[in-house]
């Protein structure tokens, strides 16, 4: 990116032509990047914008699919254990309900939140924000707050960490008993993959630009056709 040094041009172009690096405050004129390219901060190397072709539609499909997987994950057996003729199959709901002995109730809420509630909420919020944008409707009320919340929840969505946790847990009990994957495990693996794909396609600056379209100015620029 070319550093923005000519401040006098600022007023003429309008502030919306500028972009600031959220990590280091460096100011740039929004470069012309085509879908598939990344705008990277010159000095701290943070990715500032990364528009993707047809990102809006892809994110909608991925998010909708991930919600289906998420619901399915809840109810099917996740892991099956057997030892000396005794069996136990556990679903994700059971994992969440495991911490029922009083002082660990907080941990129940936390585990449930990180692996189910927050990923579900994020995907739901993204659908709420992006569906109207992609189909050329005006944004829903509260779409801006919804998208901001979704972005802020990103580090708290821990489905992929839970997936690695499963692997460790399997090895920990392998001396104790025989453990097998249930159908929900594979759905959960699919969920993790879909959530990571959503992440890869989502360019927050592009969404903000699309949300910022003033209907009065009528600048046509759907999400996937973002020029900057």
Partner 1 sequence: MSAGRDVLTARDAGLVGCRDCTRVWPAATTTCPCCGSALMSRDRRALQRVWAWWLVALICYVPANIYPMLRTSTLGSVSQDTIVGGAITLAEHGSYSVAAIILLASVVIPTLKFIAIAYLALSVARPSSARQRRQHMLYETVEYIGRWSMIDVFVVAILSALVHLGSIASIEPGPASLTFALTVVFTMISAQSFDSRLIWDQLEDEEDHARAP
Span interacting with partner 1, options 41-49, 55-63, 116-124, 125-133, rule CB under 8 A: 41-49
What x/- string results for residues 161 through 200 when contact with partner 1 is judged by CB under 8 A? xx-xxx-xx-xxx-xxx-x---------------------
Pick one of 141, 155, 215, 220: the residue that binds partner 1 (CB under 8 A): 155
Pick one of 115, 117, 131, 192: the residue that binds partner 1 (CB under 8 A): 115
Is position 10 an interface residue for partner 1 (rule: CB under 8 A)? yes
Write the DSSP symbol of residue 154. Answer: G
Is position 212 an interface residue for partner 1 (rule: CB under 8 A)? yes
CA–CA dist 77, 164 (Å, integer): 18
Is position 12 an interface residue for partner 1 (rule: CB under 8 A)? no
Pick one of 40, 64, 81, 221: the residue that binds partner 1 (CB under 8 A): 81
User: CA distances (Å), 193 to each of 68, 70, 125, 164, 199, in order?
Assistant: 13, 12, 19, 13, 10
Element spanning 91, H or E = strand 86-91
CB of 124 to partner 1, least distance (A): 19
Pick one of 35, 64, 110, 200: the residue that binds partner 1 (CB under 8 A): 110
CA–CA dist 190, 153 (Å, integer): 20
Pick one of 68, 71, 75, 104: the residue that binds partner 1 (CB under 8 A): 104
Counted residue by residue, the chain has a size of 228
Is position 219 an interface residue for partner 1 (rule: CB under 8 A)? no
**Distance, CA of 197 to chain centre:** 8
CA–CA dist 80, 145 (Å, integer): 41
The residue behind tokens 């969920």 is: 191
Contact 57, 134 (CB under 8 A): yes
CA–CA dist 200, 197 (Å, integer): 5
Span interacting with partner 1, options 7-15, 57-65, 121-129, 217-225, rule CB under 8 A: 7-15
Is position 13 an interface residue for partner 1 (rule: CB under 8 A)? no
């Amino acid at each position: 990116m070319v550093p923005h040094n000519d401040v006098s041009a600022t007023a003429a172009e309008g502030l919306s032509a500028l972009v600031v690096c959220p990590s280091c405050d460096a100011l740039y004129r929004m470069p012309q990047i085509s879908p598939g390219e990344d705008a990277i901060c010159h000095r701290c190397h943070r990715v500032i914008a990364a528009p993707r072709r047809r990102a809006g539609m892809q994110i909608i499909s991925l998010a909708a699919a991930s919600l289906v997987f998420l619901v399915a994950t809840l109810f099917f057996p996740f892991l099956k254990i057997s030892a000396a003729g005794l069996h136990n199959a556990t679903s994700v709901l059971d994992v969440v309900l495991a911490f029922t002995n009083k002082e660990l109730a907080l941990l129940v809420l936390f585990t449930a939140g990180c692996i189910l509630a927050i990923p579900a909420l994020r995907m739901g919020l993204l659908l709420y924000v992006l569906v109207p944008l992609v189909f050329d409707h005006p944004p829903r009320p509260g779409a801006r707050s919804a998208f901001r919340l979704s972005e802020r929840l990103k580090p708290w969505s821990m489905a992929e960490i839970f997936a690695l946790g499963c692997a460790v847990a399997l090895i920990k009990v392998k001396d104790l008993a025989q453990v097998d994957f249930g159908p929900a495990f594979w759905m959960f693996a699919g969920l993790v993959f879909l959530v990571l794909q959503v992440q890869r396609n989502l360019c927050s600056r592009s969404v903000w630009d699309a949300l910022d379209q003033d209907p009065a100015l009528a600048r046509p620029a759907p999400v996937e056709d973002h020029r900057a």
